[in-house]
Structure 1
Amino acid sequence: MNASSIFQFGNSFIIFGWLLLIIAPNWKHTQSIILNGFILLFSVIYTFLILKDIGDFKADSFSTLANVKALFQNDNAVAAGWFHYLAFDLFVGAYIVRKAKELQISRWWATLALPFTFMFGPMGYLIFFIIKTIKSISNNDTH
């Protein structure tokens, strides 16, 4: 399987994880499927892609912007980087769902942050942090 096919698989398959978080966030199996299914699978694929071309990796590969750009000239490295993003953004999405439930934040408010987390990672977490902070302030005001 080449890097392009693996990339396409990741883009298509990850949608199911996000739909699970949005449609069934409170289902008892959602967190397990996300953490022990999707993210574990993406971790295995990521590891395969990294180990496949580990010979091209140098200790200073991440030390400068130019070195990082050079590292990502390889299709396997780009695909691996993409799987890194997909896995960690989904992990953050699962965290948002868990934390929202724990803090009794409305499912709808938490869901607002999920598309941003899927598309823009840290921006989605920032939106959730703002929602969480507003919830905390409003809870303190009512006591």
Structure 2
Amino acid sequence: MRLDLDALYGLTGMLIIVCWGLLILHPDRSSRWITVPKFAVPTLFGLIYAGIMMAKFFDSGGGYGSIAAVRALFAHDDILLAGWLHYLAYDFFIGVWIAEQADRIGLSRQIQALILVTAFMFPPMGLVLFLATRATIRRAWRLA
């Protein structure tokens, strides 16, 4: 049986959009609508990633030792999808961490939404934006 990569890409893409939407918009982050996806989705994507990589990595002719090796690795659609799932899993996991930390420090949901949308679209920028916001708030608390 051949894995339909386009279908899997579309399905996982829709799933992650729903999860990010819940993370950003749901009023209660302790709800099962958040707690289940925050562990289940990265785990599911991680398992799919592991299965694809174990099946395809060693025959890919690519690797991580140079840009050319990475290019050769990602020239295979299976591994490209696995890499994409890797990004989606980790980015969502970091998004959940940002949301939980932001709730702990009392950051308004409007500011959280801006940070989380940034983390969804441009993950490293969203993380840096959150860390800078948190540092600014902590500094303001010390000065108050």
Q: Would the TM-score normalized by the shorter structure come out above 0.5?
A: yes
Q: CA deviation at 1:55?
A: 3.2
Distance 2:71 2:23 in 1: 33
CA–CA distance in structure 1, aligned partners of residues 49 and 92 of structure 2: 14
Instruction: Tell me the equivalent position of 1:107.
Output: 109
Identity %: 29
Distance 2:5 2:130 in 1: 33
Which residue of structure 2 aligns with residue 37 of structure 1?
A: 40
Deviation at 1:27, TM superposition (A): 3.1
Across the aligned residues of Structure 1 and Structure 2, the Cα RMSD in angstroms comes to 1.7
Q: Distance in 2 between matches of 1:25 and 1:37?
A: 20
Q: Structure 1 residues 25 and 73, CA, compared in 2 at 3 Å: closer, same or farther?
A: farther
Q: What TM-score do the two structures reach when normalised by structure 2?
A: 0.88
For 2:84, give the aligned amino acid: W
Deviation at 1:96, TM superposition (A): 0.4
Gaps of 5+ in 2: none
Aligned-partner residue type, residue 96 of structure 1: I
1:115 to 1:96, Cα distance in 2 relative to 1, 3 A: same
* Structure with more relative contact order (C-alpha pairs < 8 Å, separation 6 or more): 1
Count of residues paired in the alignment: 141
CA distance in 1 between partners of 2:99 and 2:29 (Å): 11
Partner of 1:91: 93
8 Å contact from structure 1 (residues 117, 123) kept in 2: yes
Specify every segment of 5 or more residues in structure 1 that has no aligned partner in the other structure, as ranges. none
Q: What is the deviation of 1:22?
A: 0.7
The one-letter code sitting in structure 2 at the alignment partner of 1:141 is L
| Maintained 8 Å contact 1:39/1:90 | yes
Aligned counterparts of 1:25 and 1:57: Cα–Cα separation in 2: 45
- Contact residue 46 and residue 89 of structure 2 kept, 8 A: yes
Distance 1:39 1:25 in 2: 22
Contact 2:119 2:127 in 1 (8 A): yes
TM-score (norm 1): 0.89
